[in-house]
A and B are shown apart, each in its own frame.
Chain A
Amino acid sequence: AQSVSQHNHHVILSEAASLELGCNYSYGGTVNLFWYVQYPGQHLQLLLKYFSGDPLVKGIKGFEAEFIKSKFSFNLRKPSVQWSDTAEYFCAVNANNQGGKLIFGQGTELSVKP
């Protein structure tokens, strides 16, 4: 069965620090990869997505992610975080033969101290 692992459950950073959140998935076929953010009390918003092509994907709000196929990873990065980045971050996988079904990782809570 497919699964998605986010190893960091809670990350605490100071403003201007760099961020990297890990995401690994288990699936042998072709996958589409996503990072979503959920601000407190708000709905899930898409940060970025990867379907094919350049494995380095740029998203909104200065976030980027790199797909490393050999490591089954899709880590999220941001060079300098802001207090407003405090939120829950979810990695999600969609297998090409699974229609629109998304499988989410457990989420990483990011707290940015001003």
Chain B
Amino acid sequence: DAGVTQSPTHLIKTRGQQVTLRCSPKSGHDTVSWYQQALGQEPQFIFQYYEEEERQRGNFPDRFSGHQFPNYSSELNVNALLLGDSALYLCASSLRMDLRPENTIYFGEGSWLTVV
């Protein structure tokens, strides 16, 4: 049973460029959330997707956008990259939006983005 898989694992981009990160949720999960974890910091919630719609959003600018596909996989897009966007981007999946005791959130290993 595959866990949460993310790609790519590492990438380097130049300021001003655009990046797309991908996530496949754990088998049976239908909800995907994205987090940004800067080096030495805690994960920060970017947004959550359920039924192909953005359901919640954290304090991130519109340069951060996403998409969820019918197979529940998701993409995170960041436009006009800034040096400060360098971070580990984590994907988390769960069954349904609302957390319940029987519904654990699983995290992927993340995509390391370096903006130079």
Contacts of A44 in B (CB 8 A): 43, 90, 107
Min CB–CB distance B109 → chain A (angstroms)? 4
**Does A35 sit within 8 A of B, measured CB to CB?**
no
Contacts of B63 in A (CB 8 A): none
- The reply to whether B43 and A51 contact each other, CB–CB distance below 8 Å, is no
Q: What residue of chain A has the Cβ atom nearest to residue B109's Cβ?
A: A43
Contacts of B94 in A (CB 8 A): 100
What number of B residues sit within 8 Å (CB to CB) of A? 28
- The reply to whether B104 and A104 contact each other, CB–CB distance below 8 Å, is no
| Cβ contact of B98, chosen from A100, A105, A106, cutoff 8 A | A100
Known interface pairs A43-B107, A43-B109; A101-B101 also in contact (CB < 8 Å): no
Contacts of A24 in B (CB 8 A): none
**Does B105 sit within 8 A of A, measured CB to CB?**
yes
Contacts of A49 in B (CB 8 A): 101, 104
| Cβ contact of B41, chosen from A45, A98, A100, A106, cutoff 8 A | A106
Known interface pairs A42-B109, A43-B109, A44-B107; A99-B56 also in contact (CB < 8 Å): yes
Q: What residue of chain A has the Cβ atom nearest to residue B106's Cβ?
A: A46
**Does B66 sit within 8 A of A, measured CB to CB?**
no
Known interface pairs A43-B109, A98-B56, A99-B56; A104-B101 also in contact (CB < 8 Å): no
B59-116 contacts to A, CB under 8 A, are 90, 92, 94, 97-101, 104-110
Contacts of A45 in B (CB 8 A): 107
Footprint of B on A, CB under 8 Å? Answer: 32, 36, 42-46, 49, 51-52, 90, 94, 98-107
The 6 closest A-B CB pairs, nearest first, are A104-B42, A44-B107, A43-B109, A99-B97, A51-B101, A43-B107
